[in-house]
Amino acid sequence: MALTLNNDMSTLKVGNYFWCYFNSMDYDLPKSFFYDSPPKNHSSTLRFGLGEIATKTDYDVVGKELSPDWANKCHGYFKFIVVDVKPNGEIVLISDRNLAYKYTYNAYELKNGFMKAGAPISEFTYKVKTENKCVGGTALSNSIYSNSYLTEYAFDGKNNTHYYPKPMPSNPEFDKEYIGYQFLEPVNIQYMSLINSQGATYTLQAIGVRDLYLDYSDDGVIWVNVSSVDVSKYNVSSGWVQFLDFSNNYKVKHNYWRLRFGKGTSASYGLFISELEMYEGIYENTSVFNSFEATISGISSNSQENERIIELSDWDRYIASDLNGMLDKAGDNSIWNMNYPSYTNALSSVNNAMVVVRGGNNGDVSRWHSLAIATQATNNVADGAGLRLKLTLKRKDFVESSVFFNQSGQYKTYSIGKESEFKTSPWIQDFTDDGIATESTQHGMTIKANTGVSVWKLFNRNSDSWASTDHQTGAEIVIDFGITQDKRVGGYVMEYEYGKGVEVLSQKIPQDIYASPRDWNVYASTLGDKWDLIDERRGVTWSQGELKKFHFNKAETYRFFKFVFYGNNSDLKNIAIKYLNLYDIQSSKVDAHWKSLTTNMPSENTIKNEGIKDLSILDRRYKVFMESVKHSEVFGSGNIYKGKVDLKNVGSIKIE
């Protein structure tokens, strides 16, 4: 059997695929510079873009695919393959190859790199390069300095040849100079990349050219201006591309387009253009996901299960499988391009400076090894690994069905139980501003934090948010109810609202939800000397203004409670909390159990309220457990390890 192309999102099934376009970009440059080849020194704001989603046929992409062999080009088409359709309608897709490479694991990692785990796909589809349209046509200009600087040299793909207009920028006639292109077919130019490789003396800024104009024509004689750009805001040194954003609402296509120059100031140095590329537009093709909540997943050791890039279990469940018979064999290298290793989200259990990598070794699906997270990937696949994406589509209009079991005339359902119920009032009354930074005593109790200011804000929901000291993304908060004032606590609430419109890293990355707490533990103590772990949270994500409830397994009575926050959701500056409080409980937790209903067909109300909505809660086909083994002795050329496994209630065993 084989995979099937399907560009209709509403009918996706396991074994279907659609094409998508990938490109890298750098947010440190004005607007975005789109890389044809990976830069040697990437910035912390390097990102990728996706476009042309589910719009192409196999024929359309022939010769335009993203090379799986780690060639220099870092843009092209790849497949998103449907690997799972879950009972709740959720669709899981995985890229058929590594998309980005040449970078370390840290470059992709959530906290220090350019990925946003669990982000909407719109985060990655609003800036994607189209093809350079200046191919096969005719170069145009008003003048050339000499035959050594021909107009066509700006379109020959070589940085060591240059176009150079005749007049100096200070010449009153310079504003009549232009360079343009007669295209083979009508186009609508919106963006340009202008490359100067002659040194800082010849940049637009150095020669005093401030204004650039975008004009079109139908005959090459009569020209109409549609847009302009002020390049004085650009700060780009020699050798870099100046990405020129002429984007406007004019959408008509024409055969002639040109870049016209405003007056300059230099009388000694002219305008060198090594290369000029023109692009039609930047895609915003997310309409195909109108019926879904589409989430693109990035590498993160802190990510939630549905946000991870390729988990070890993902690799074995999907890539090392035949997709329920849709492929001729499991772990088909011709489908998954496994010659080139992929990072997983799993750090080495021995050394957290190492990350688990799968694949390589001529396409061995079972191969895994560890790679230092700071290793720079190269064309030698033994020295690096790449980024393989996962896309999750959740249906907005999914209608749940209900299932019951009839056993000997008795209708039964499986109840997953319920959490304990908090009392109406919290333990901690509202704190008020006492002017103290990290320790506040009010209402007979004391709150301490090891970072930030105005710790009282944590316990006043009407104030703005508490935040850590800048560039500290972890925190420790201790609550002391006082001598003989032990409290029974069954859980806590936490609210996040911070960073709206606030940006860091030279106004490139918004704080927004990314300063929210992601990983933390809660400890309790009677005397404040020995601490018991009573709650552990990993991979928690937030929306602005969201209040979450967190329940302990059972109510705990202590004097001291300590929250230790290990990290946020990728913000590089702060960890923030709007509100925090502890609660006693008024009803206990109910464990999962089989529940008898009626001997007759259940009523409509019972069906809605009591039926099993997701049969995966009954899936007991797979159970993974870890069993330690001990080295026994050397036997021949190998080693013997032994361990003891209790086989009770185990139907079958698979040893890996």
One-letter amino acid for residue 638 of the chain: G
Check residue 513 and give left, alpha or beta (phi > 0: left; psi -120 to 50: alpha): alpha
* H/E run at residue 227: strand 224-230
In 503-578, which ranges are E strands? 503-504, 509-510, 517-525, 532-537, 546-558, 560-568, 576-577
DSSP for 105-152? Answer: HHHHSTTTSS--TTEEGGGGTSS----B--SSSEEEES--SSTTS-GG
Which position has the token pair 């879904």? Answer: 292
Spell out a b/e string for 290-323, using b for 16 or more CB atoms within 10 Å of the CB, else e: eebebbbbbbbbbbeeebbbbbeebbbebbbbeb
Between the alpha carbon of residue 179 and those of residues 203, 215, 608, the distances in Å are 16, 10, 68
For 171-210, strand residue ranges (E) read 178-187, 191-195
Give yes or no for a contact between 276 and 179, defined as CB atoms under 8 angstroms apart.
yes
Sign of CA dihedral 243, 246, 251, 256: negative
- Number of neighbours of residue 613 by Cβ within 10 angstroms: 14
Mean pLDDT by 10 residues, the chain (656 residues): 88 93 59 49 57 90 85 79 86 88 65 58 58 91 92 90 91 93 93 78 83 94 92 58 76 94 89 88 63 73 43 73 82 88 72 78 81 67 74 78 69 67 92 94 96 94 92 93 94 89 47 85 94 91 89 91 90 88 83 69 67 59 53 53 56 51
SS3 of 52, please? coil
Terminal C-alpha separation, the chain: 28
The pTM of the full predicted model, rounded to 2 decimals, is 0.52
Residue whose entry in the numeric block shows the structure tokens 């560039």: 471
Cα 392 from Cα 84, distance rounded (Å): 10
- Whether the CB-CB separation of 457 and 437 falls below 8 Å is answered with no
The token pair at 137 is: 């046509």
The label of the residue with tokens 């609003």 reads 126
Tally of CB atoms within 10 A around 43: 15
The set of residues, in sequence order, having a beta carbon less than 8 Å from that of 612 and lying 6+ positions away, is 402, 403, 404, 413, 414, 618
Domain boundaries, the chain: 4-129+286-395, 138-279, 422-587
Tally the C-alpha atoms within 13 A of residue 150's C-alpha that lie toward its C-beta: 8
Length of the chain measured in residues: 656
Q: In the 8-state DSSP scheme, what is residue 369? A: E
The topology under which CATH files domain 422-587 is Jelly Rolls (2.60.120)
Residue 56's region, left for phi above 0, alpha for psi from -120 to 50, else beta, is beta
Residue type, 523: Y
Q: How far apart are CA 93 and CA 82, in angstroms?
A: 4
Cα–Cα distances in angstroms (integers) from residue 198 to residues 159, 167, 260, in the given order: 9, 18, 20
DSSP letter string, 488-519: EEEEEEEEE---TT-EETTTTEE-GGGGSEEE
- Tell me whether domains 138-279 and 422-587 share a fold: yes
* CATH 2.60.120.260, applies to 138-279: yes
In sequence order, the 6+-apart residues with CB closer than 8 A to the CB of 354 are 347, 348, 370, 371, 372, 373
Alpha-carbon span 251 to 248, nearest angstrom? 8
Alpha-carbon Rg of the chain, whole angstroms?
A: 30
Tokens of 233: 């805001």
d(C-alpha 175, C-alpha 186), whole Å: 26
Q: For residue 170, what pLDDT is reported? A: 92
User: Who's near 22: CB < 8 A, 6+ residues apart?
Assistant: 48, 49, 50, 66, 74, 75, 76, 77, 78, 99, 100
